[in-house]
Amino acid sequence: MGFQNTLEQNVKAAIRILFNTDLLSVEFQATRKDFLGDITVVVFPMLRFVKGNPAQIGEQVGQYLLDNVELVKGFNVVKGFLNIEISDIYYIDFFRRITEDDNFGFVNKQDDKAVMVEYSSPNTNKPLHLGHVRNVLLGYSVAEILKASGKNVYKTQIINDRGIHICKSMLA
């Protein structure tokens, strides 16, 4: 269960305990950069179920979350918008779970379609340069991203020694 789902359940519990009413849903939005917080609970839709001043309702819900949810480290209310600060514990635990999961980001279902990624075709008669290295890294990265998305990937490169210098030699 993600943090937003957990937070939604806790906001619903706060409204149930504080105001003795049930909410159908909780509206979230990104916190504006002007204010402190990681996620914002919009209090205005709650006014259909809970009568009162949106700022006061936000303060009460925010205080409940601060007291009862360990992943909430702070809050502030701006005109009916409850800005919630998420504790560092949540992020540290999230990154720890990612590092322990060797298949994080990979799709388990294998796609039947084959995809061929052709990259890095440097001229064998000339020295490699930074552009070649860039193309190798980009091609390899694209191939690995496609593989992680479940595609059957074939990586290939066409060795090309027919540059302008070969054409000039043939012409001469």
CATH code for position 68: 3.30.1360.70
State the chain's mean pLDDT as an integer: 86
**Which residue range is the domain that position 150 belongs to?**
106-171
Q: Of 155, 163, 153, give the one whose Cα is nearest residue 122.
A: 163
Alpha-carbon distance of 80 to 47, in angstroms, equals 10
- My answer on whether 81 and 120 are in the same domain is no
| Residue with the two structure tokens 């504006």 | 32
- My answer on whether 60 and 114 are in the same domain is no
What would the two tokens of residue 63 be?
């205080």
- My answer on whether 16 and 57 are in the same domain is yes
- My answer on whether 127 and 64 are in the same domain is no
Q: Is 94 part of any domain?
A: no
Alpha-carbon distance of 40 to 28, in angstroms, equals 6
H-type helices in 54-107, by residue range? 54-68, 88-100
pTM (two decimals): 0.63
- My answer on whether 83 and 117 are in the same domain is no
- My answer on whether 114 and 36 are in the same domain is no
Tens digits of per-residue pLDDT, 61-120? 999 999 998 889 999 999 889 999 999 988 899 899 999 988 888 887 777 788 999 887
